[in-house]
């Protein structure tokens, strides 16, 4: 288990009151995980505006060049755009970039018109390798250090959760088909004496599915941080999600980005002081 975990929000749709930082539609986290005196620094997602991200990184004093690995939670542009530019700024060779094998597929919406919303030109696999990345593409959980790992693919077991947006892709046979976002992954950290902290990008797999998959039997949920993609969800889905989350009895629910106001309002109504919005520059700390 980890001795401590510090999660800093580098980019988010909102900024705290009177903050000098910049907001953008997207999300990025900086994780500092410590175990037995060893610290690993993990960049999780990069938003969609690298210039705004660099601005926040500088103002927050984040040691970007000390990045030990990058985790990309899913393909969407608001989590991946500018990744090659960020890799060049880090300046390392063979820096692990961890994601699902289907990350670079075509992923598009058709309403109000056709638009690719996945990884954009300039951030494709060859671009990332040239910028210093060692691509680590797996659908399995991957341990980054003892006490911190990715979830791998998330089984869809609930009957009320869905991707949250109508997305399509094209099969190897050239057929247009529904995209169920199998690349959606999260991170799970075990904090000694506290329980699990889950960090998610958009929860296209469903936040309850993610929790059911990530938590070991009998393991306590200390915190869940990230986007829940309930912005366009029905009231019924929001109600069922909040109720199911309440059953996990977390000490902290920090939900922003694609969660949506209605879901945030519902979460606050149940969790009260245990609920927090995110926002660029927000810091969450956990200690054993």
**CA distance readout (Å), 4 to 40, 63, 75, 105:** 11, 18, 29, 36
- Output the DSSP codes for 238-250: HHHHHHHHHTT--
Q: What is the pLDDT of residue 215?
A: 96
pLDDT tens per residue across span 220-232: 999 999 999 999 9
Locate 46 and state its tokens.
């990069």
At 27 the pLDDT is 98
Percentage of residues in the chain having pLDDT higher than 70 = 100
pLDDT tens sequence across 12-61:
999 999 999 999 999 999 999 999 999 999 999 999 999 999 999 999 99
**Which pLDDT band holds residue 271 (cuts at 50, 70, 90)?**
very high
pLDDT tens digits for 81-126? Answer: 999 999 999 999 999 999 999 999 999 999 999 999 999 999 999 9
The superfamily in CATH containing domain 4-287 is: Ribonuclease Z/Hydroxyacylglutathione hydrolase-like (3.60.15.10)
What is the tens place of the pLDDT at every residue in 186-203?
Answer: 999 999 999 999 999 999
Q: For all residues of the chain together, what is the average pLDDT?
A: 97
Element containing residue 191 per DSSP (H, E): strand 186-191
């Amino acid at each position: 288990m980890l001795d401590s975990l510090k999660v800093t929000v580098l980019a988010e749709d909102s900024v705290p009151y009177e903050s000098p930082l910049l907001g953008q539609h997207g999300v990025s986290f900086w994780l500092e995980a410590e175990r037995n005196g060893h610290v690993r620094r993990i960049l999780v997602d990069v938003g969609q505006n690298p210039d705004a991200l660099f601005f926040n990184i500088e103002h927050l004093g984040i040691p970007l060049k000390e990045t030990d690995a990058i985790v990309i939670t899913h393909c969407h542009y608001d989590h991946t755009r500018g990744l090659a530019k960020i890799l060049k700024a880090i300046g390392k060779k063979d820096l692990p970039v961890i994601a699902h094998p289907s990350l670079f597929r075509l992923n598009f919406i058709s309403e109000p018109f056709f638009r690719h919303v996945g990884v954009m030109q300039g951030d494709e696999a060859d671009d990332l390798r040239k910028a210093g990345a060692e691509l680590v593409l797996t659908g399995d959980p991957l341990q980054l250090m003892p006490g911190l790992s990715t979830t791998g693919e998330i089984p869809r077991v609930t009957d009320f959760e869905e991707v949250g947006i109508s997305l399509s892709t094209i099969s190897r046979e050239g057929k247009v088909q529904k995209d169920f976002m199998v690349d959606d992954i999260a991170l799970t950290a075990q904090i000694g004496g506290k329980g699990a902290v889950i960090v998610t990008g958009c929860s296209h797999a469903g936040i309850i599915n993610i929790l059911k998959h990530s938590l070991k039997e009998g393991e306590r949920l200390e915190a869940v941080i990230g986007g829940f993609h309930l912005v366009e969800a029905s009231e019924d889905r929001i109600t069922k999600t909040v109720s199911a989350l309440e059953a996990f009895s977390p000490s902290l629910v920090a939900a922003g980005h694609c969660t949506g106001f209605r879901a945030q309002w519902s979460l606050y109504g149940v969790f009260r002081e245990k609920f927090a919005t995110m926002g660029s520059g927000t810091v969450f700390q956990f200690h054993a």
